[in-house]
Structure 1
Amino acid sequence: MFDYQAGEKYKLTLIIVGFAGAMVGMFFTLLLQPEQRPQQTAKQRPKWADHPDVTGGRGATAYNAQAQQPGAAPLTAEPQVAPTNADDALRLISDWLPMAWDFSAASAGTNQEKAIQYMSPECAQAYRANIWSPEMAQTIALSGAKSQFNTTSVKIGEQRPDGAVVVLVEGQQILDVPGKGQNVHEVKFEYLVKMTPDRKLQIAGMGEAGKGFGI
């Protein structure tokens, strides 16, 4: 059973995808495990974790407080964002997956940049810092690796109270590095899709399915 309370599980939480080793004389493998730093997380809570676009609280407190004051002039709140259409969210993620999971040396650079364009600004910033960093991009480019992502399931997991939609993805990531063999990993991820005030869909969060990160 999934629990997607606003401001709890998804706060632009990003799974930390680790790629161990360098390409020259070192073993390269694909890891998909969250980075466990509970103490550091508690002390250094990222600012984007409390961003109102994620918590769904932008403008709500001020508006409600003003509404409780008789005779006070109404405070203009931001336009209410329409609920995210589930079918549109599924299509967005389905189109996005081949780009986001491309770690081939010849095409990852281009496709990762395209994938980032689908994300909210805060999500994109965290993704560049934790996943597609300059070091990662260089490592992949020099590796000669070929990757393939086979999608087995894309479905709606939950429609959240703030209108966002959680899309559940299952698939298989295959990474083949010359001289190092092939690594196959079963993937189960969750992606948070939200509609912006100008009615554009964005990916606002991601995480490994069934794991609470507490960030």
Structure 2
Amino acid sequence: MAVAIGSKELEAAQRIFSDRLPLAERFVEHLATSGIERGLLGPREVPRLWDRHVLNCAVVAEFLRGKSRVADVGSGAGLPGLALAIARPDAQLVLIEPLERRVNWLREVREDLELDNVEVFRGRAEQAVGKVNVDVVTARAVSALSGLAAMTIPLLGGAGEVLAIKGRSAAEEVAKASKVIRRLGGVKTSVEVAGSAFLDEPTTVVRIVVGA
């Protein structure tokens, strides 16, 4: 199932995915078909898959250093995990997801797209602590920041970054979660934007630096 993409979104997708754009297109097809059928996304999201979901997530790749090792917590429909894996083949992604039907779908898509930089871990974030070796943790639409910090920061083993995709209330969430973040080892928390050069609605990211 081909999903329509506007000229501006296509230009952004070409800049983000480059020669891997066909993989991104196939990922969107999976989201629009089996992703909807299995309840990973609602059917009303199909017209917004590119701008609201895939591009919104993939632009976070600009925060990743070369050869980053990334854990995506609550990966669900592979957002942002699979989008980042396509945009950044030099990064290694571990998709952490507790629900079996979502895990099965993620594995099917990974195999169909032949993403050899993706591993799927079935379990909760706390179950992955000490079992995955990462320097970046990502999350989208998982929890309020105070709860999310408790899920994500321990995965870093004392050093790294959390990149949490958030909405307009990001600064307010940071203020509420500041004490929890510091207690868990966060040394700097900032609200940043990704994709401002080519997205009508840039992605808001809460960036938590852990360790030195």
TM-score, scaled relative to structure 2? 0.24
TM-score, scaled relative to structure 1? 0.24
Greater helix share, 1 or 2? 2
* Larger RCO of the pair (alpha carbons < 8 Å, separation 6+): 1
Greater C-alpha Rg: 1
